[in-house]
Amino acid sequence: MRKFAELFDALDSTTKTNAKVEALTTYFQETNQEDLLFSIALLIGLKPKRAFKTTHLREWCSELSGIPLWLVEDSYYVVGDLAETLALLIPTQHNQSENKSLKEYFQELTEAKNWEIEEQKSYVLHHWNNLSGTDLFIFNKLITGNLRVGVSKTLVVRALAKVLNEETSTISHLIIGKWNPLEITFDSLFNQNAIESKTHLPYPFYLAYPVEDSFFETENIKDFILEKKLDGIRGQIIVRDEQIYIWSRGEDVLTDKFPEFDLLKNQLSNGTVIDGEIIPWKNDKPLPFSIMQTRIGRKNVTKKYLEEAPLIMVCYDLLEDKGIDIRQQPLQERRNRLIEILSEINSPLLLLSEEMHLSDWQEALKFRNEARNYHAEGLMIKRSNSPYEVGRKKGNWYKWKSDPLSIDAVLLYAQSGSGRRSNLFTDYTFAVWDGDQLVPFAKAYSGLTDLEINKVDRWVKRNTLEKFGPVRSVKPELVFEIAFEGIAQSTRHKSGVAVRFPRIARWREDKSVNEANTLDDLNDILNKYGN
């Protein structure tokens, strides 16, 4: 693991993308295939399942260090990262004597969840007594289940592509999904026949780039296909070897969550991959995303939920046709073939995305501004001759979202953040007026500048009314504009509403607390744009 720890130090010492890629490339070139396989798994987030309770880890740290448990807890509260807290508090009066392979750690940590508490404790204390520096820090990251090393999957792919002399698109495809390095080999993951042997795998998703104002000055609307941007789950439906697989953009297999789509394996030809948006749909129109959420987290999807939250896929691209990868064909050609397939099977589960025939960008702007009236989030703008690429790339596919909904709300509670912001109050709860009472309706932690965060933090510390662990209630004096993407009824919230993706749009220092919006205002937005 020592070499992996050195890699971590190299990655942590720079913010430059090219330097990170170079560090990864050097490490991959110098590491044997077995360790390389396990390091790839860790770097892309495929870590062993956490076996140790954080409560036990804090208690053992207190015992080993002689530091009172309350002080360990307070230190964790200030540092914001348990692995780092443990590394700082554990005594290092020893020499490093442990240098196991990553495979050994994987095996041990996988088995550890079946150990008795005393056996777990003995294992952890042994390593705490025989590791130091970055090695200790990485070990703590592994046992706490939080191994973020400052690189994205994209950078790992770039480095691997260099080392293996492959296209990044090929590498992205080969490492996609949830695979276990204990069950495969490096060769089985990366040999030339790997894709063919993994019939269930999706293609890496192509993501749209946010459109910029300059785009409309140079581009002709006639060169693009325009579609409604719908609010659902981006996914791929795959039919291969008489089986159907449904993958989300987040690389989760959702086949069992959507049993109604099983019929398609008998209707679509083998070797068909369709890209689209899975959305709740009833009476010829989309339902709010919140309807779908009632199904996502359930282990068993009953008949009741199938009826209450019926789903379809709105299809907008064809990636594979009769086993042939057609991603490099122009979008218009892929779409034409998709139209043919959907017409042939005539399934109510698959609906072709509606192409918006708009004459110019001014007309497109009008639709974008009114998109919510058409159950859409805005517009997708796709160059008609574009290939299907990998990841988020500028040039061919764009998203043009409607301006968010917003409301002026009062800061009611504040909580400290994590990581580098663990000593600052950065997580806030906001409320609106219901008569003369303030009713909480949303939490938000993004949108303020560093300068504003520091200013709010100082204010929170001076204006605290009560403390509830890490949470403080504050004087209701500050007003903020809260932006959000959607709104729905909710029985779980005191306000009766839930907003989607809330964030701080701006600090309304120009408004008094009495000028904040009311629950009636929030319900008006709900009645207009919610369910």
For the chain, give every domain's residue range: 2-144, 206-401, 405-529
Report the SS3 class of residue 221: helix
Looking at residue 153, its pLDDT comes to 85
CB burial readout 200-217, b (16+ within 10 A) else e: ebbbbbbebeebeeeebe
The whole-model pTM stands at 0.72
Q: Which two tokens stand for residue 468?
A: 């509830």
Strand 479-484 vs strand 503-507: parallel, antiparallel, or unpaired? antiparallel
How would you classify the pairing of strands 397-401 and 209-210? parallel
Residue-by-residue DSSP string for 93-138: -S-------HHHHHHHHHHGGGS-HHHHHHHHHHHHTT--HHHHHH
What angle do helix axes 133-144 and 82-89 make, rounded to 10 degrees?
140
Reduced to 3 states (helix: H, G, I; strand: E, B; else coil), residue 433 is strand
Q: What is residue 160's three-state secondary structure?
A: helix
Report in angstroms the alpha-carbon separations of 37 from 8, 49, 137, 186, 381.
16, 17, 21, 6, 39
CA distances from residue 229 to 11, 205, 276, 288, 314 in whole angstroms, order as listed: 37, 16, 11, 14, 11
**3-state DSSP call for residue 254?**
coil
CATH topology for the 405-529 domain? OB fold (Dihydrolipoamide Acetyltransferase, E2P) (2.40.50)
pLDDT at 191: 73
Architecture of domain 206-401: 2-Layer Sandwich (3.30)
d(CA 240, CA 367): 39
SS3 406: strand
- Please name which of 466, 19, 398 lies closest in space to residue 209, comparing C-alpha atoms: 398
What are the Cα distances from residue 145, in Å, to 57, 83, 340, 525? 12, 9, 47, 40
* pLDDT for residue 279: 93
Domain boundaries 2-144, corresponding CATH code: 1.10.3260.10
Q: Residue 443 corresponds to which amino acid?
A: K
* DSSP letter assigned to residue 401: E
SS3 assignment, position 291: helix
User: Which H/E stretch holds residue 31?
Assistant: none
pLDDT, tens digit only, all 531 positions of the chain = 778 888 888 888 888 889 999 999 999 999 888 888 999 988 888 888 889 999 999 999 999 999 999 898 888 877 778 888 898 899 876 556 667 888 898 899 999 989 999 999 999 999 998 888 888 888 998 998 877 777 888 899 999 999 988 888 788 878 887 788 888 888 888 875 655 566 678 898 999 999 999 999 999 999 999 999 998 999 999 999 889 999 988 878 888 888 899 999 999 999 999 999 999 888 888 887 777 777 776 667 778 777 878 899 999 999 999 999 999 999 999 999 999 999 999 999 999 999 999 999 999 999 999 998 888 899 999 999 999 998 888 899 999 999 999 999 999 999 987 666 667 899 999 999 999 999 999 999 999 998 999 999 999 999 999 988 778 999 999 999 999 988 888 877 889 898 988 999 999 999 999 999 999 999 999 988 875
Sign of CA dihedral 296, 299, 302, 304: negative
Q: Which of 444, 530, 427, 529 is nearest to 483 (CA)?
A: 444
